Structure 1
Amino acid sequence: MSTLPQQTAAIPLLASSAWLARHLHDPHISVIAILSRKPGDGGPTVAIEGAHAFHWKELLWDERQRQFVGADTLRRRLASAGVGPQQHLVLYGDHSQFAFYARWVLLRAGIANVSVLDGGLRGWLADALPTQALAAVHAALPAAGGDLQQPARATADIRIGRDQLLQRLGDDSLQILDIRSQEEYDGQRVGPDGGNHGAERAGHIPGARLFPFASLLDEHSRLRPVEELRALASAAGLDAQRETAVYCRLSHRSTLAFFVLTELLGFGNVRVYDGSWTEWGSLVGAPIAA
């Protein structure tokens, strides 16, 4: 049984562009852009009409360590953009996976009033829906004192760490899924776009199955129909009854797969290894397959 917080029934967990266009001016909804890059660094220069924009790290990470902030800081940072605690968040990414990553972090903190726009900005633009110039990106606020803490009990088990994975290698009760491309999995490169930065070595975690991120999306970055996703999972030999760990390079793509597995395909025990290949590929003594 899933331990995730329950979603408000009236608002879809995965919002279509058409649904959001109809509710764009609903005062109970706040649209949040999760940017992979800021406009001056090659990021988008347009936003969905009325959206509040955050760079992913500046919303979700502590500014002094590679760790997530807790609910207090997340709410303070959202409040700095005028987003109240009772508003329902509809997240979208300039690349779809960044919104799913933000949703996963918010869930870990116990913030459940969150949906994701299917297709993100790319899907919205494909439908020629209203945009505005992206004038400002909200700056990060310092983490609240004592905010780095264990997440809410209901969501504590959706993250797995490197030490836990090391201890479970070879354990048949755990299936490990690599959400990267075939080239990354085979060790031909480290990064998703031909780059070789981000880890000292290339390859994959021993025993991991390939379940590529790109296969889950259509040409507009929307999730494929559930029947197609189920067929992909079956072809990859995945078992919904087994405990599952997912990883990619920085965990953005793996959190999209987390959504697919838990919310659409009925997997009951899925955890994200958020250190992903950036961490594993540089760990001294960690085994690698290629």
Structure 2
Amino acid sequence: MNYNTLISAEQLQALLQANPLVRVFDCSFDLMQPHAGYEQYLAAHIPRAIYADLETALSARHGVPGAHGIITASGADAPASGGRHPLPNREKFATWLSSVGMGNDMQAVVYDRNGGNYCGRLWWMLKWAGHENVAMLDGGLQAWQAAGGELSSGEEPAPFQNSFLLGPERVTLVDADTVARQLGRPAQTLIDARATPRFKGEVEPLDPVAGHIPGALNRPFSQNFTPEGRFKPAEQLKAEFLALLGSRDPASVVHHCGSGVSALPNLIAMEIAGLGRTALYAGSWSDWCSDASRPVAQG
């Protein structure tokens, strides 16, 4: 059985027992303490899990940093997006997947211990690389522990080298120019996943400019989860997104956040709700506000 959106802790337990071709990734991270996620992984993780570092594995961190952290490398090292966490190009990402033993015939499972904030990035990137069989562990490491799942500590044995082959992109990635061209048009509905005070421009702890892209709607990513950290039921998510969108077409949605990471729970929630697989502006606010000619809204 393949899992393409969510997997429960109980389903993962059964899958790990039955299927050796499962690659589990721990994506735990802390923006304010970048090494904390790896330290937490070493202390406790799901057996066989590989650590996927947001800043080294899931972002382009090579080349010459430009203004506001934008990577200006070119050629083979050119990233696929701007922003504080620019996407590595697909070829670089495939090389990393191969190095950690990920194969095209494998089921991937991603999780974190941060309320789903970070593991959605790898879920989306695998779809972007053409790999459909990836699921997010609903409820994260906490749900695994609550279900009686075992934990391991320390570094896992080095995985065997594999040969991950890129396939057709299964998601839609847009850039700042596309967003700018479509501003104010019915063909584009922007949803910003940042906390409301950041969206309004009342505070801005990470980027040099406060505010949001004009016309964007605000749905903080945390609104997709129950108090236990699991995604809300599909019908509830559908009702909430349709209320937010009003007369706007769900197919027009482009998700973003600060740097293209916490937007993914919104994107995944819309898919769970049966509203389709919508687009991502991966550069997000950190990319948008790096160009002073782009408009900014507040309030």
CA contact (8 A) 2:182 2:188 kept: yes
Cα 1:14–1:269 shift into 2, 3 Å: closer
2:181 corresponds in structure 1 to 167
Q: Which runs of 5+ in 2 are unaligned?
A: 64-70, 72-78, 80-86
Residue 289 of structure 1 and its aligned partner are, at CA, apart by: 1.0
| Structure-2 separation of matches of 1:119 and 1:109 | 25
Match of 1:42 among 10, 25, 36: 36
| 1:79 partnered with 2:102 | no
Residue 133 of structure 1 and its aligned partner are, at CA, apart by: 1.2
Q: Under a length normalisation based on structure 1, what TM-score does the superposition of the two structures give?
A: 0.81
Q: Residues 8-157 of structure 1 correspond to what in structure 2 (within 5 A)?
A: 10-11=2-3, 13-25=5-17, 26-37=19-30, 41-43=35-37, 44=40, 45-65=43-63, 66=71, 67=79, 68-95=87-114, 96-135=116-155, 153-155=168-170
CA contact (8 A) 1:54 1:137 kept: no
| Structure-2 separation of matches of 1:241 and 1:77 | 33
After superposition, the C-alpha distances for 1:116-160 in whole angstroms (9 at most, x for unaligned) are 11122232234342111143698xx9xxxxx9xxx85543x6111
| Structure-1 separation of matches of 2:289 and 2:259 | 11
1:229 corresponds in structure 2 to 237
Root-mean-square deviation over aligned CA pairs: 2.9
| Structure-2 separation of matches of 1:165 and 1:283 | 13
SS in 2 for 1:224: coil
Residue 62 of structure 1 and its aligned partner are, at CA, apart by: 3.5
| Structure-2 separation of matches of 1:40 and 1:60 | 13
After superposition, the C-alpha distances for 1:197-227 in whole angstroms (9 at most, x for unaligned) are 2x11111111111122111012232111112
SS in 1 for 2:145: helix
SS in 2 for 1:24: helix
Cα 1:168–1:121 shift into 2, 3 Å: same
Q: Residues 201-216 of structure 1 correspond to what in structure 2 (within 5 A)?
A: 201-216=209-224
Cα 1:131–1:280 shift into 2, 3 Å: same
Percent identical among aligned pairs is 23
Q: Under a length normalisation based on structure 2, what TM-score does the superposition of the two structures give?
A: 0.78
Q: Which stretch shows the higher mean deviation, 264-273 or 241-250?
A: 264-273
1:218 corresponds in structure 2 to 226
Match of 1:260 among 246, 264, 269: 269
Cα 1:20–1:269 shift into 2, 3 Å: closer
SS in 2 for 1:30: strand
Cα 1:171–1:80 shift into 2, 3 Å: same
1:288 corresponds in structure 2 to 296
Cα 1:105–1:289 shift into 2, 3 Å: same
